[in-house]
Structure 1
C-alpha cells in the first residue's frame, strides 16, 4: 500500500445561504456549510486542527486557524466519516472557501487533508 493510499481523507462540502440571518442592505451575508470528512485510507487518523482561506467577491481574504472542528477533534478509523455544520459571514453575495485539516495518524504520521475550493453564493446571483 502506498503512502497516498495509507493516508487518505476525502472532504465533501455543501454550502447554503441563510436568508433569515442575512442583511444584504448592510453587506452581511450568512452562509452555512455542511462538511463530511471521510477516512478512505488504511490507518485511523485524528482531525487535530483546521485552516480555512475564505475569499469574498471583492477579493478580501480571511484566514481562520484553530483546533478541531465545532469543538471536536474526531478520530476516524478507515471507512468512518464525521459530519458537521458550521458557518461564515461575508460582505458580498459570493465568495469561496478552501483549506486543510491537519491529521495525526494512529501510527504517528502527520499529514494535511486538503479541502477543495467551494462556492458560497446567494441563490440566483450567478448565472
Structure 2
C-alpha cells in the first residue's frame, strides 16, 4: 500500500483483484461451510431448476469480493460492516479454467470519525454479480 490510510481520499481506487473459481474451489468451500446444495456441483440438477450451470456459493463470491478491501487494509479487523446484494450467479464450468471473478473497489466516502465507505464491483463473464457491495472500514 503506497498511500497511508489517513491520507485516503474519495475516489481512491484500490488495487484490483482477480479470483479464479474452479469446481475444486466449490468442493473445498462446501466442505468448509457445510453447504452441499447440488446447484454447486451437479450440472444436471442446476439445469433442472433453470440455472445455466453449476454456480458458486453466494457466500464464497461475497467472501472473495471483500478480499480486495482486506488486502488493501492489511488488517481484516478494520472492516466494520459489509453487505451485498446478489444480482447474478457465478457460473463455474467443469474445466481447468473455471470462472474468473474480477474485483475492483473505490473509496466512496471518508468520514470525520476515521471511517470510510468502500464501494466494491465484482464481475464474472462480463456481468456484475454483486450489487450495492459496500464495506465500512476503519482507517485509523
TM-score above 0.5, yes or no: no
Higher normalized strand content (fraction of residues) = 1
TM-score range, shorter chain: 0.3 to 0.5
Higher normalized helix content (fraction of residues) = 2
